[in-house]
Amino acid sequence: MDNIHYISTDILSLEIVNDILSQDKKLALSEEARANIEKCRAYLDNKMESLDKPIYGINTGFGSLYNVKISNDNLSKLQENLVKSHACGTGDEVPEAIVKIMLLLKIQSLSYGNSGVQLQTVERLVDFYNNEIYPVIYTLGSLGASGDLAPLAHLSLPLLGEGEVYMDGFRQPAHKVLAKMGWEPIILKSKEGLALLNGTQFMSAYGVYVLLKSVKLNYLADVIGAISLEGFDGRIEPFDEHIHMVRPHKGQIVTARRFNDLLEDSEIIAHPKQHVQDPYSFRCIPQVHGATKDTVDYVKKVFKIEINSVTDNPNIFVESDQIISGGNFHGQPLALTLDFLGIAMAELGSISERRTYQLISGLRGLPPFLVSNPGLNSGFMIPQYTAASIVSQNKQLATPASVDSIVSSNGQEDHVSMGANAATKTLRIVENVERILAIELMNASQALEFRRPLKSSDFIEVFVKSYREEVPLVTEDRILHYDIENTIAFLNNLHLDDSVIE
């Protein structure tokens, strides 16, 4: 029972989603969710028996074809055609980890009883999740406005025995997997295709994935920044609580306190300094890292609302006997926050690269490029080039997607969010930041050795010792590509305490 998460109206938080994923929990519909789904479907079936007027997406065409009435005999075919015709994704495949989150969030959204889907449709999505059957979905194709139509169409195709899925590590036709599992294809009823395709689960899944990664990288940026501060023989005064209490931004305060904790009892930080001030990339760490933390906190609030919402259209309200067509599928709240998050995370990489640059500059008793016998050895000269290149790319990627809109569906969908593009490029930014921080860790840990025999704090010494088991000290030139990749793997494999995610 402990390894099952029951889908219900209980609030999903980022921490709960992380727990579901990290503990590899299975999903099950609660009795509440089953009752809500069945009640809504029964209401819609009864309504269709006596309904003569057109209701968008239920007995009409879609988009600009909203005024084309469809006969009751063709309602199932209408929904099947919708799923097939909208499966127009292209580009790279969506990472499996994000497809898994898409399934979770689509199940959650359909479980509230406002979408009109059949119980067996949601149960089949649960089956896909629990049996690690992941539809093949593509990164390009969504405008982030009528929901994530193309990606969600690819998510839904296997319900019909169409499209492709990954199972047991192999890409294979969905109909073969259904046959292997002994499952019949789902025959969609009225509105079901639209309920599956309308929704923000592509943007939301990317957002959840990127947020979890961003929270971890924010913590690691502090740890790696603290190692850089020690390697650069920096001062602790800029992290004094008095400074931050007179400008009490939460993230700034949290960052300063963390640095004091990380560097507690450090011999390096305590010994007398020859310099009065540090460069901004060290002195302003609380202000810069802190602003990114505050951005992450804001984005978490937006996504918490989103992943606990109904985002298809139209929405069905059984108690008030209404079927209302609206715009809950529009991704504007997500597009704006994903762009904001991308900008904030890009800045975390930008200041990291500046610290790397300072460390290799031959300042404060450090040898040029952090290697003995510089000249014969180039040392850490070129990793800084690599970091600078990645920072530059992040600046380009940080250009907001949400400021763009292109008219679609013959003018019916005349303002779109481009939130899907914001989502995919924000993931690229965050992955780039991980690479930049890995390069800083390489440099910072190397610089720390030139401060011997002085020691850093117990925490820093243990952290660096663990890192050294994966990436040895550089004593003469070697191929640093492997060191970069091994450092990225080291950071990826670190598991943080749950309190860091909160």
pLDDT in 10s for each residue of the chain, 502 residues? 579 999 999 999 999 999 999 999 999 999 999 999 999 999 999 888 877 777 776 776 665 565 666 666 677 888 899 999 999 999 999 999 999 999 999 999 999 999 999 999 999 999 999 999 999 999 999 999 988 999 999 999 999 999 999 999 999 999 999 999 999 999 999 889 999 999 999 999 999 999 999 999 999 999 999 999 999 999 999 999 999 999 999 999 999 999 999 999 999 999 999 999 999 999 999 999 999 999 999 999 999 999 999 999 999 999 999 999 999 999 999 999 999 999 999 999 999 999 999 999 999 999 999 998 888 899 999 999 999 999 999 999 999 999 998 888 877 888 899 999 999 999 999 999 999 999 999 999 999 999 999 999 999 999 999 999 999 999 999 999 999 999 999 999 998 876 666 5
Q: How far apart are CA 34 and CA 21, in angstroms?
A: 23
Rounded alpha-carbon distances, angstroms, from residue 320 to 50, 177, 195, 238, 324 = 17, 41, 20, 59, 11
DSSP string, 409-421: GGGTB-----HHH
Closest CA to 348 of 391, 389, 380: 391
Residue at 326: amino acid letter: G
Residues 43, 56, 112, 467: which is the catalytic one?
56
Query: Does the annotation count 209 as an active-site position?
Result: no
pTM: 0.95
Contact 152, 103 (CB under 8 A): no
Q: How far apart are CA 413 and CA 393, in angstroms?
A: 32
Contact 267, 455 (CB under 8 A): yes
3 state DSSP class of 188: coil
3 state DSSP class of 450: coil
Which DSSP helix (H) or strand (E) runs through 194? helix 192-197
Domains and CATH numbers, the chain: 4-198 (1.10.275.10), 206-310+326-403+412-500 (1.20.200.10)
Residue at 464: amino acid letter: V
Cα angle 128, 130, 132; round to 5: 65
Q: Measure CA 171 to chain center.
A: 24
